[in-house]
């Protein structure tokens, strides 16, 4: 197969652009300001995040949403619909693996879906399941999972609890559990209380 010079230049340009690293948001802010504002964002509190975004734009960040820029930078794969479908698939598997535990909680220990989530959803165990499932079956997602849910430097599975990422995964659990919650509460003749 022959390609023209212009086609070769286009291929080289596309390869070079896709390999360029993203520029970390907040790079034009002083390190002290950046760390303080980032710590406000890491709390996960919506009011703190809103204030952090406003402060960041006042001290030199070039957009009004440092929190969203950081999330995009740190977890770019979460914007990929196929990756989100994969996470939902693993969430369904995690729920199936833990179904006896969850059903017991629905029947005996929880009055609402929020309470069930708080008491019975184990974020660390979900991420561990995600790693195991990815390493065993889906090599195409291994790099995305490792980038989105990084292991700490010592190699243990004590995960960095990025509050926004944890909230996203927790809301994914709630959405997957909602129909099951209703079915099991009806089965046990208990109020649904979502």
Q: How far apart are CA 173 and CA 114, in angstroms?
A: 10
Q: Are residues 64 and 92 in the same domain?
A: no
Residue 102 in domain: yes
Is 7 part of any domain? no
58 occurs within a structural domain: yes
The pTM for the full model equals: 0.65
Same domain, 55 and 145: no
- Cα of first residue to Cα of last residue in the chain, in angstroms, is 61
Same-domain check for residues 55 and 137? no
pLDDT above 90: residue 96: yes
Residues 84 and 172 placed together within one structural domain of the fold: yes
Clarify whether residues 162 and 66 are in a common domain: no
Return the DSSP state at 91.
H
pLDDT mean over 118-144: 78
**Residues 163 and 85 reside in one and the same domain:** yes
User: Is residue 28, in this structure, part of any structural domain at all?
Assistant: yes
HEC-encoded secondary structure of 101-159: HHHHHHHHHCCCHHHHHHHHCCHHHHHHHHHHHHHHHCHHHHHHHHHHCCCCCCCCCCC
Q: What is the average pLDDT value for the chain, to the nearest integer?
A: 80
Say if 6 falls within a structural domain. no
In a domain, 50, yes or no: yes
Task: Report yes or no on 12 lying in a domain.
Answer: no
Residue 53 CA neighbour count, 13 Å, CB half? 16
Say if residue 40's pLDDT is above 90. no
What's the number of domains the chain is made of? 2
> Contact, 50 vs 43, CB < 8 A?
no
Of 36, 54, 74, the residue at which a domain comes to its end is 74
pLDDT at 19 over 90: no
Is 57 found in the same domain as 31?
A: yes
Residue 65, domain extent: 21-74
Answer yes or no: is pLDDT of 74 > 80: no
Q: Tell whether 70 and 82 lie within a shared domain.
A: no
Q: How many CA atoms lie within 13 A of 171 on its CB side?
A: 6
Q: Which of 74, 105, 136 is the last residue of a domain?
A: 74
Which of 40, 74, 108 delimits the end of a domain? 74
- 54 and 84 part of one domain: no
Report if residue 32 sits inside a domain. yes
Can you tell me the mean pLDDT for 113-130?
Answer: 90
Residues 67 and 100 in one domain: no
Do 94 and 68 share a structural domain?
Answer: no
For 146-168, what is each residue's pLDDT tens digit?
767 766 555 554 445 566 678 88
Q: Is residue 184 within 8 Å of residue 104, measured between CB atoms?
A: no
Q: Same domain for 44 and 102?
A: no
């Amino acid at each position: 197969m022959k390609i023209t010079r212009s086609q070769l230049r286009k291929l080289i340009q596309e390869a070079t652009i896709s390999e360029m690293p993203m520029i970390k948001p907040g790079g034009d802010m002083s390190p002290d300001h950046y760390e303080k504002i980032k710590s406000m964002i890491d709390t996960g509190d919506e009011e703190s995040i809103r204030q952090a975004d406003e402060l960041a734009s006042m001290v030199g960040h070039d957009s009004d949403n440092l929190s969203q820029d950081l999330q995009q930078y740190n977890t770019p794969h979460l914007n990929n619909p196929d990756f989100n479908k994969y996470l939902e698939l693993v969430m369904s598997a995690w729920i199936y693996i833990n179904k006896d535990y969850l059903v017991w909680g629905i029947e005996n220990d929880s009055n609402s879906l929020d309470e069930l989530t708080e008491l019975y959803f184990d974020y660390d165990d979900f991420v561990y399941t995600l790693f195991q499932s990815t390493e065993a079956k889906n090599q195409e997602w291994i790099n995305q999972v490792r980038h989105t849910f990084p292991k700490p430097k010592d190699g243990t599975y004590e995960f960095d609890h990025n509050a926004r990422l944890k909230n996203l995964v927790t809301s994914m659990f709630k959405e997957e559990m909602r129909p099951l919650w209703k079915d099991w509460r009806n089965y046990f003749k208990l109020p649904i209380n979502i």
